[in-house]
Amino acid sequence: MNTLELPISHQFAISATTLPALRKLGIGVGHQSWVRSVAYSHDSQLLASASNDHTVCLWDARESNLTLLATLTGHDASMWSVAFSADDSMLASGGNDACVRLWEVASEPYEFVRFPDHNESIYSLAFSPDGRLLASASHDNTLRLRDITGIRVSGRARSGVAMNHISHVYSVAFSPDSHWLASASRDSVVRVWDISASDIHSVAQTRPVGLIGHRSWVNTVAFSPNGKVLASASHDTTIRFWDLATMKESSVLTGHKDAVTSLAFSPDGRLLVSTAKDHSVRLWDVKAQRELLVLGDPHTMMHCATFSPNGKYLVTAGGDKLLHIWGIPV
């Protein structure tokens, strides 16, 4: 099927077929320092970004030319992560001030809950797809899990637990069915936790599966949209795929020349985007296990990247303070 044969709804979605036409369509200007994290709302309407300038920016992301809706202030240190709740009504943010903040995403966003339960920097945040849990990964060697099912009524987590690691925890992700929680650590191990139990205290007492293969610390983890594969990326410059049915490594992607800093699957699971300290953004064919396209500027490092849930846009961000929006020109 060539591009002309694609249905109208797919002609301008980012895919292996349309990738040769990928172009930069717009930018987001609003941060004053490095951008460390970007996240789309599940309806692709909003985009959030976290920066070293201590702020979170909230953008209207319906078009490629982003419109800045709000700058969220309150954190007093560099920011590392943002994540939208399953229903897109809340935004979580965290960074070097060791505090997780929850923001009501309304016409006038405001902070309504904070969790000062970490002792050191927070590097990654994730909500479970079923809306039940909020996880955070920290430099304090813990992954914290909170039951937030009653948070709108009580303003507090129903319960919370710390899941201990032997070194710093850099990334956390939930599987699409909310059955698994994956964490990436400086000890070079990827841990996969069964979180199907309704009581998170029981979850904290279970032993995770350790996925061993990386030769240096693991920076990020991401589940495929069908929940069958977990991808991880490391300072060892590799990206590894793990089969969740067997909990075994299934393949390794090589090509980056320095530490890989972020990963994200396309909504259909056929593409993977990665960013690295080698100043490149690479797009990979997941099934064929091959590199399809390299984006990059030798003068600027992109630290993070993600696809919009509708498959229309790819956003990259990093050291130049900007958000770059990529897509297929209409």
pLDDT digits over 121-132, tens only? Answer: 999 999 999 999
pLDDT for res 1: 28
pLDDT for res 198: 82
pLDDT for res 6: 37
- Write out pLDDT tens, residues 198-210: 889 988 888 999 9
pLDDT at 8 over 60: no
CATH code, domain carrying 71: 2.40.10
pLDDT at 7 over 80: no
In a domain, 40, yes or no: yes
pLDDT for res 3: 32
- Write out pLDDT tens, residues 67-118: 999 999 999 999 999 999 999 999 999 999 999 999 999 878 999 999 999 9
pLDDT at 268 over 60: yes
Exposed/middle/buried for residue 65 (C-beta within 10 Å: 0-12, 13-18, 19+):
exposed
In a domain, 7, yes or no: no
- Residue 217 sits at the vertex; the CA angle it makes with 139 and 160, to the nearest 5 degrees, is 35
Total count of domains within the chain: 1
- Phi/psi for 201 (5° steps) reads -65, -35
In a domain, 236, yes or no: no
- Residue 242 sits at the vertex; the CA angle it makes with 237 and 247, to the nearest 5 degrees, is 135
Q: How far is CA 307 from the centre of its chain?
A: 10
User: By residue range, what is the domain housing residue 67?
Assistant: 30-110
In a domain, 131, yes or no: no
In a domain, 183, yes or no: no
Residues 259-262: contacts with CB within 8 Å, 24+ apart? 259/216, 259/219, 259/234, 259/235, 260/219, 260/220, 260/233, 260/234, 260/235, 261/219, 261/220, 261/233, 261/303, 261/304, 262/219, 262/220, 262/233, 262/303, 262/304, 262/305, 262/306
Q: How far is CA 135 from the centre of its chain?
A: 12
- Write out pLDDT tens, residues 230-256: 999 999 999 999 999 999 999 999 999
In a domain, 277, yes or no: no
In a domain, 143, yes or no: no
- Write out pLDDT tens, residues 32-59: 999 999 999 999 999 999 999 999 999 9
In a domain, 61, yes or no: yes
- Residue 311, C-beta contacts closer than 8 angstroms, at least 6 positions apart: 13, 14, 15, 266, 267, 268
pLDDT at 141 over 90: yes
pLDDT at 12 over 80: no
pLDDT at 9 over 90: no
